[in-house]
Amino acid sequence: MDERFMKEAIDIALDGMRSNKGGPFGAVVVKDGEIIGRGGNKVTSSNDPTAHAEVVAIREACENLGVFQLDGCKIYTSCEPCPMCLGAIYWARPDKVYYGCDKLDAAQIGFDDAFIYKELELPLTDRKIPFVQVLREEALLVFNEWDDKEDKVEY
């Protein structure tokens, strides 16, 4: 663990917050001791609810490396990742994640993700946002073609 990378993530969070780009969150992706992706929260400035610091940093790192997985990388984030960012991190497959504040610290300033964790445990029919399955058979045709596709790039 290298504290200078966490300090960079915290500086990105501070800069983004002070310049009204988004919430107080920052992240960097590091490979071989070098920052290859930086991200600050840009939800409000970009009108993009997915523009969380970790997602922005992952996107930049993958673009810079020309890959869709972050093997051999570490993520430093100013706060324990939310459920969406946690999912993105698992899909990106870095080697390790370091975080500053935890989810309880975030909840104390209005960023409480507890309701999402609770929703994930509920049956689809009991969630606050209704989920309705439609045209499953037609959608399965695409999955079947993917399953048979010989030149697919698996991930």
- Known catalytic residue: 154? no
For the chain, the DSSP string reads --HHHHHHHHHHHHHHHHTTSSSS-EEEEEETTEEEEEEE--HHHHT-TT--HHHHHHHHHHHHHT-SS-TTEEEEEEEPPPHHHHHHHHHH--SEEEEEE-HHHHHHTT---HHHHHHHHS-GGGSSS------HHHHHHHHHHHHH-TT----
Task: Centre a 10 Å sphere on the Cβ of residue 73 and count the other Cβ atoms it contains.
Answer: 23
Catalytic annotation, pick one of 3, 8, 34, 54: 54
Quote the tokens at residue 127.
């969630």
Ramachandran angles phi, psi of 138, nearest 5°: -65, -40
Positions marked catalytic? 54
